[in-house]
Amino acid sequence: MAETTTQPPEQRSPTPRRRLPRPDPALSLIALALLALAALDRTALTPVIQNTLSSFGHTLIFILFAIGSVAYLRATGATALLAKAFQGNEARMILMAAAFGGLSPFCSCEVIPFVAALLAVGAPLSAVMAFWLASPLMDPAMFFITSGALGIEFALGKTAAAIALGMMGGFSVKALAGTALYTDPLRTAPNLGCCDSKGPAELQGRPVWAFWRDALRRQEFQEVAVQNTLFLGKWLLLAYVLESLMLRYVPSEMIASILGGDGIGPILIASLVGAPAYLNGYAAVPLVAGLLEQGMSPGAAMAFVIAGGVSCIPAAVAVWALVKPRVFASYLGFSITGAILAGLVWNIVA
């Protein structure tokens, strides 16, 4: 009889457990919202879905144009032009950083490796602050989606506010550079990166505008386009579902009484609740459109998108990862102050 050996149970290699895929938060919220609606008010389910798809279709051309523009900028390497904003005279750096911040196709965490490299080689904190404040507020995709949902005037106003906020923060830091507030501003071991980012390497070299002649650049265009289609699609669908529910169930009189009117009160409220109420910059656009339809004042709408864009969690984490708490506090102070000023101005000109 052949001898057999058995391995003691404690020495056997454990069977690897299969990890279930993590549910997508945006798609999960869409499903939960529609399931809850079907359970609580079945007759409203079809109208809400129809209104959601109609609103999404209305801005689809802007979404597609935004996806294409961001993919083109990334595939050509046009982001390399950003490095020029941090060269030369400090005042010029602040102006250029604020302007480029509103044009760069980076998400809030993608700027971390770039900013970390700039700070490490001695770029002035004033110019970096200008870029940080402007970057979360506007980019090519945001501009076209905002234009489609809120109008070209609001998109241009938000762009101007983003640049002005960056300049305000940058020149304020420059003026206070010698004080204890901005002495030794960096953390000793910054956390570089919270998403899949290529970092400063893609900011080197010259742009190649005819990217389709290079196989790697064509692949980059395709990957960025697909990623942004999935990202924008799911978050905007969620936003339009929430907008449809808000228009159906939230009394317009309540919105008008809290966030309506031309006084500073609605602007202050919108500035303070901007961060906790913000899903992300793209999802906020349809929600603001719904609030405006319900009676929100134009100034409060502008204050909400400015304060929420700068102080929402992804943007705030990008700053917290690199600088000390006192500098982070000043970043938040600039965002709230800038949001209030932008709201007051927009109430006058809108």
Looking at residue 301, its pLDDT comes to: 93
Looking at residue 91, its pLDDT comes to: 92
pLDDT band at 119 (very low <50, low <70, confident <90, very high): confident
The proportion of the chain whose per-residue pLDDT surpasses 90, expressed as a percent, equals 31
The proportion of the chain whose per-residue pLDDT surpasses 70, expressed as a percent, equals 80
The predicted-structure confidence for 124-179, as pLDDT tens digits, reads as follows 899 989 988 888 888 888 898 899 889 999 999 999 999 999 999 999 999 998 89
pLDDT band at 251 (very low <50, low <70, confident <90, very high): confident
pLDDT band at 1 (very low <50, low <70, confident <90, very high): very low
Give the span between the Cα atoms of 137 and 14, in whole angstroms. Answer: 49
The predicted-structure confidence for 254-273, as pLDDT tens digits, reads as follows 777 788 877 889 999 988 88
More confident residue, 272 or 280: 272
Q: What is the mean pLDDT of the chain?
A: 81
Distances (CA, A) of 3 to 6, 8, 9, 13: 10, 16, 19, 22
More confident residue, 108 or 217: 217
Q: Is the pLDDT of residue 180 over 80?
A: yes
Q: Long-range contacts made by residues 50-59, C-beta under 8 angstroms, separation at least 24?
A: 51/240, 51/244, 51/247, 52/237, 52/240, 52/241, 52/243, 52/244, 55/240, 55/243, 55/244, 55/286, 56/236, 56/237, 56/240, 58/148, 59/145, 59/148, 59/149, 59/236, 59/286
Give the span between the Cα atoms of 107 and 327, in whole angstroms. Answer: 21
pLDDT band at 110 (very low <50, low <70, confident <90, very high): low
Looking at residue 3, its pLDDT comes to: 45
Q: Is the pLDDT of residue 286 over 60?
A: yes
Q: What is the DSSP letter of 23?
A: P
More confident residue, 86 or 205: 86
Looking at residue 117, its pLDDT comes to: 67
Q: Is the pTM of this model over 0.85?
A: no
More confident residue, 170 or 20: 170
Looking at residue 190, its pLDDT comes to: 44
Q: Is the pLDDT of residue 192 over 50?
A: no
Q: Is the pLDDT of residue 39 over 90?
A: yes
Q: Is the pLDDT of residue 274 over 80?
A: no
- Compute how many other C-beta atoms are within 10 angstroms of the C-beta atom of residue 25: 12
- Compute how many other C-beta atoms are within 10 angstroms of the C-beta atom of residue 211: 20
More confident residue, 261 or 249: 249
Checking phi first, is residue 255 left (phi over 0); if not, alpha (psi -120 to 50) or beta?
Answer: alpha
The predicted-structure confidence for 193-226, as pLDDT tens digits, reads as follows 444 444 444 555 678 888 899 999 999 999 989 9
Biggest distance spanned by C-alpha atoms of the chain: 97
Average pLDDT of 291-312?
Answer: 88
Looking at residue 275, its pLDDT comes to: 63
Looking at residue 106, its pLDDT comes to: 64
More confident residue, 278 or 192: 278
